[in-house]
Amino acid sequence: MAAGERDVSEVVLKDTRVTASEAASRSAVLKRLRLTDTIFHGLTRTAALTVLALLSGVIIALVIGAAPALGTFGFSFFFDESWNPVTEKFGALAPIYGTLVTSAIAMLIAVPVGLMIAFFLTELCPKVLRRPIGIAIELLAGIPSIIYGIWGLFVFAPFVQQYFQPFMIDTFANVPILSTLFAGPPYGIGMFTAGLILAIMVLPFVTSISRDVFDAVPPVLKEAAYGVGCTTWEVFRYVVLPFTRVGVIGGFMLGLGRALGETMAVTFVIGNAHHVSASLFAPGTTISASIANEFTEAVGDLYTSSLIALGLILFFITFCVLAMARYMLMRLQKQAG
């Protein structure tokens, strides 16, 4: 009996030792996991703070660099058209005007065309052609901007000058408002040509994002609409677009951000003239094109500061566009519940 009790007590002690060993092992594992989680938390926080620090650094550098020009010209810098490095008289009105006009032209063309292409690929295109067409459109986003600029200057601009601009000038010569928008000699290059090139460059972004969100529409919604007699246009207008409006607006804003900051392609075809004209066919300039053309040749602190001030204005415009997009998305999500 004593021997049996001794055996039982040895087994209990052995189980106790095993349990203590397992507990120590588990404790070590938990400590390692807590250390790993702490390190990961620190890395993610550092990455987030680094982004904020970089953004703050960019803003501070732009403000400091633009201070001499803004201090010299004041608010007239934003509304003055003149840009004369010889007399050191600078104004940002022409680059701001060209940036907004060319981006507006690009989005007015790219957004409807991109939405139609996306709907065609998701609903109407045969499956055999869906993938090749989709890949071809996405490849447009991989073409360097300088290639677009060279093609636009040597191929597209002569075509526009010879065929498109004379036709538009003659067609709208007697129409009150359009005669002003499409007036002047057919240079080939100008704000309208730059807007068309930007539309081609922006098209892949709008199309790709729209196609992805269109694919996310539940088939039952479209089938129900077709079942009650809706046409393809009605399904697109009243089912697909309302369901995907958040994604569509996101694609629009992404394309607009690309259009606002594009440099090389626009520089080739816009004409690089610091002049504000009501005609879309007239040469002009943009903020990014002005900086790219003149920054290496800027002589004097005021000239350099004026170019940096243009960069600050472009940064502010982009920030306002993104803030408006975020606000619109929040409103749409709130309305959708």
Residues 60 and 83 reside in one and the same domain: no
pLDDT of residue 11: 46
Residue with tokens 């109407």: 124
Domain that residue 112 falls in = 75-336
Whether 176 and 83 share a structural domain? yes
pLDDT digits (tens, 9 = 90+) for 285-320: 999 999 988 888 888 889 999 999 999 999 999 888
Mean pLDDT (whole number) for 39-66: 92
Among 73, 88, 109, the domain-final residue is: 73
What is the pLDDT, as a whole number, of residue 4? 52
With beta carbons less than 8 A apart as the criterion, state whether 172 and 179 touch.
Answer: yes
Last residue of a domain, one of 48, 73, 98: 73
The pLDDT confidence band at residue 13, using thresholds 50, 70 and 90, is: very low
Q: Which amino acid appears at position 316 of this protein?
A: F
Say if CB 118 and CB 211 are below 8 A apart. yes
pLDDT at position 310:
93
Which pLDDT score is estimated for 33? 83
Rounded distance, CA 103 to CA 111, Å? 12
Same structural domain for residues 23 and 35? yes
State whether 8 and 96 are in the same domain. Answer: no
Please state the rounded mean pLDDT for residues 65-78.
90
Q: What is the count of structural domains for the chain?
A: 2
Q: Are residues 232 and 101 in the same domain?
A: yes
The CATH number for 296's domain is 1.10.3720.10
Q: List the structure tokens of 243.
A: 């369901």
Contacts of 117 by beta carbon, 8 Å cutoff, 6+ apart: 137, 203, 207, 211
pLDDT at residue 331, as a whole number: 75
Question: Are residues 69 and 305 in contact, defined by beta-carbon separation less than 8 angstroms?
Answer: yes
- Given a contact cutoff of 8 angstroms between Cβ atoms, the answer to whether 279 and 40 are in contact is no
Q: What is the pLDDT of residue 179?
A: 87
Q: Domain ends where: 13, 42, 73? A: 73
Question: Residue 200 — very low, low, confident or very high, per pLDDT cuts 50/70/90?
Answer: very high
**Region of 279 on the Ramachandran plot (φ > 0 left; ψ -120 to 50 alpha; else beta):** beta
Average pLDDT of the chain?
86
Q: Write the pLDDT tens digit of every residue in 155-167.
A: 999 999 999 999 9
Say if residue 125 is in the same domain as residue 35: no
Per-residue pLDDT for 139 more than 90?
A: no
Most confident stretch, 187-201, 221-235, 244-258: 187-201
pLDDT value, residue 17: 53
Identify the weakest region by mean pLDDT among 59-63, 112-116, 177-181: 177-181
Same domain, 22 and 91: no
pTM of the model: 0.83
Look at residue 168 and tell me whether its pLDDT is greater than 80: yes
Per the model's pLDDT, the better-predicted residue between 311 and 33 turns out to be: 311
Q: What is the pLDDT of residue 151?
A: 93
24 vs 124, higher pLDDT = 124
User: What local confidence, expressed as pLDDT, does residue 98 receive?
Assistant: 93
Task: Give the bridge partners for 284, in sequence order.
Answer: 271
Instruction: Work out the average pLDDT over 79-101.
Output: 90
Judgement on whether residues 146 and 50 belong to the same structural domain of the protein: no
Residue 111 and residue 198 in one domain: yes
Same domain, 96 and 69: no
Residue 216 shares a structural domain with residue 106 = yes
Tell whether 170 and 40 lie within a shared domain: no
